[in-house]
Structure 1
């Protein structure tokens, strides 16, 4: 495609069906080039708001194919952030030639972790034309296990987090050069991009356009506006620069941790987002996403009580390893990151166009957005008022249990 062709193309935002069809063509072509003698067939699209993911079977080998447009989320792309579809296609050609293209870095991170041996990760099956093929991982994810094993929540969370011990040691940072980090998955960085001073208010006002009733949209936008303003102020004081260079897994979510050998076996991780960051980042994202799994599942008072207690025990054990002088700051840091991360993903679900399939828990969270926003409003108010971190933490868990029940 020439530059002239792009300039005369109709200025329209990408159409989901067109985007998905293009990605399928790229996946098919990449598979043909990697395995020219194999028989393959595309399976279901995996609902995702970040990259385009499709199951694919190559001969008898089940794989996942993942494709990224310009390194941005599917929601941003389909909302027109990257411009009209002809422009996106043209720019994608150049993007895929870059050594720092997102799938290039993710493949490199999976290979690095495989060499290190910790944590265990899914194997890279191939990388071609910007399509990353990975081996399928069997077993239940942590997100699937938690509602069925609520009394074991602390142990399950601890088992996942414990696999990152080696990753969190300073020597590991030397193996991850600046070009290999996936900073796009930073909690604070994502929050800053979404809610910056120029476009942030407009973004907030448009949340839920295709997903919520008008009255809910108005309340969500208003309440999140207050929460975001508080978190911008808290960020400077409660999220200091890390004092030592350590690697965080970065995208540590319950749905990214699988247990092929059952809940007592060693987990396997998918979709890394390695970055130089304080290990508190991993703890905060695991807590945040576990809390959202609980809010989406709404398993009832008794199960919810066990899950919330397990989150509390998990966090307490992380603090036990810290000097007394660092515990208060750690809890404050995790609370701010927890709120930021939850707002990041909830706002992404709320801003997703109707034609983009959401994960089941994403659809459930959208339906409960008002309740969650009210809880976040109270927690952020307490943080901003200087309430003791342990009291804010306890109150946040009480509110989580109420939302889940």
Structure 2
């Protein structure tokens, strides 16, 4: 269901202040339950459009605490998709008892990955009352390294995917039961949920109501309607069982940390393991890297170096593939890249003005027309029947343009 879907509840939509206060109380209660007698101090809130995340100090130990309302995004909760505030609280009391609650599965995935050894992941410190506590990972993120040394892009991406190799083996998928995946975070599933039927069209019409000028809102809606229609036609067919592997599912430059510097192995946070083609991980990281560039605007030279690095990384991935398989992989990457970009941009655009956005969120909202124009041009090329390699060249050119 899109966040613009009609509500059946007569009550007012939840308020940001009461939602945040509730989450903070749950974090304090969960910490007290896990570490009785320890001094608990909430330090700083980490803005997010998905869950509520807060830095916390427990008995002198620094941790991150993550709270999820009904496994839904904060944007959906604040738009009243789950009902009014009283309904959300009643549903949440039941939800946190479920064995398949989102953060229960995320904790289990982190433990599975820790047991697997590759990729390296952050440590689970505890789980209670639907709150997941993890240990911080010191060191620069991939985002910081890319902006600091754009020429290292291909090597850094290759380091990440070298560590993902074991996860992407077909037999590794047997380590996680189907119920343990976080399939609701699938890029394709999220895209379908957001842009289904009439409610999806209504959602597009209302985008940016609290974020953009009327002219920008109209231009964004027109561009995205065209992009969404093309992507619906190009959606990959359902996977045959033998084609699926475990993918990390939520690779983002800000969530890849290099504690030993750029020459060391990365540590990953926030897994969303699901069964999909391995191209999904490459697509998600490409999408979020391009959005990083669109928001940071590091300049023409850095933009060109990073885009060229993305190209070199893709060439390295395809080197061992037969030509037909390489074209298929590249086409899948492009489709999922565009879907993910549309998913996250529309979430930012639909967020209530009172919800703090992540650091890169506000610049993306301000550059929504430029980002939508990029997706329009790439999807037009992709839908025209051009060879995937030619479309990829177009996409890299658009990346340089939106970031320069």
Q: How many Å apart are 1:176 and its aligned residue?
A: 0.6
> Alpha carbon RMSD of aligned pairs, Å?
1.2
Q: Secondary structure at the match of 1:247?
A: strand
Aligned to 2:339: 340
8 Å contact from structure 2 (residues 247, 276) kept in 1: yes
Whole-Å separation in 2 of the counterparts to 1:355 and 1:215: 22
User: What residue ranges of structure 1 are gaps of 5+ in the alignment?
Assistant: 1-8
Q: How many Å apart are 1:321 and its aligned residue?
A: 2.3
The answer to whether 1:266 aligns with 2:271 is: no
Normalising by the residue count of structure 1, what TM-score does the alignment of the two structures yield? 0.96
Aligned to 1:60: 60
Whole-Å separation in 2 of the counterparts to 1:227 and 1:284: 17
Aligned to 1:6: none
The answer to whether 1:253 aligns with 2:246 is: no
The answer to whether 1:311 aligns with 2:310 is: yes
Whole-Å separation in 1 of the counterparts to 2:400 and 2:148: 17
**In the superposition, relative to structure 1, how do residues 153 and 110 fare at CA in structure 2: closer, same or farther (>3 Å)?**
same
C-alpha distance after superposition, 1:298-328 (max 9, x if no partner) = 0111111101101111111111122222011
Runs of 4+ aligned structure 1 residues displaced above 3 Å come to 239-243
Whole-Å separation in 2 of the counterparts to 1:95 and 1:40: 25
8 Å contact from structure 1 (residues 242, 278) kept in 2: no
The answer to whether 1:368 aligns with 2:394 is: no
Aligned to 1:280: 279
8 Å contact from structure 1 (residues 242, 277) kept in 2: no
Q: How many Å apart are 1:145 and its aligned residue?
A: 1.2
Q: Secondary structure at the match of 1:20?
A: helix
Whole-Å separation in 2 of the counterparts to 1:383 and 1:340: 13
Whole-Å separation in 2 of the counterparts to 1:399 and 1:160: 24
8 Å contact from structure 1 (residues 47, 357) kept in 2: yes
Whole-Å separation in 2 of the counterparts to 1:116 and 1:151: 31
**Residues 21-40 of structure 1 mapped to structure 2, 5 A cutoff:** 21-40=21-40
**Residues 318-337 of structure 1 mapped to structure 2, 5 A cutoff:** 318-337=317-336
Q: Secondary structure at the match of 1:50?
A: coil
Q: How many Å apart are 1:198 and its aligned residue?
A: 3.0
C-alpha distance after superposition, 1:336-382 (max 9, x if no partner) = 00000000000001111111111111111111110111111111111
The answer to whether 1:148 aligns with 2:148 is: yes
8 Å contact from structure 2 (residues 138, 257) kept in 1: yes
8 Å contact from structure 1 (residues 56, 62) kept in 2: yes
Normalising by the residue count of structure 2, what TM-score does the alignment of the two structures yield? 0.96
8 Å contact from structure 2 (residues 236, 332) kept in 1: no
Whole-Å separation in 2 of the counterparts to 1:241 and 1:386: 24
The answer to whether 1:90 aligns with 2:90 is: yes
Q: Secondary structure at the match of 2:134?
A: strand
Q: How many Å apart are 1:242 and its aligned residue?
A: 5.9
**Residues 60-209 of structure 1 mapped to structure 2, 5 A cutoff:** 60-209=60-209
Whole-Å separation in 2 of the counterparts to 1:188 and 1:208: 23
Whole-Å separation in 1 of the counterparts to 2:179 and 2:299: 45
Aligned residues: 396
C-alpha distance after superposition, 1:73-108 (max 9, x if no partner) = 011111111111100000111111111000100000
C-alpha distance after superposition, 1:183-216 (max 9, x if no partner) = 0110100000000113100110111111111110
C-alpha distance after superposition, 1:34-65 (max 9, x if no partner) = 11121120011101111100000112211000
Whole-Å separation in 2 of the counterparts to 1:127 and 1:375: 41
Q: How many Å apart are 1:246 and its aligned residue?
A: 1.1
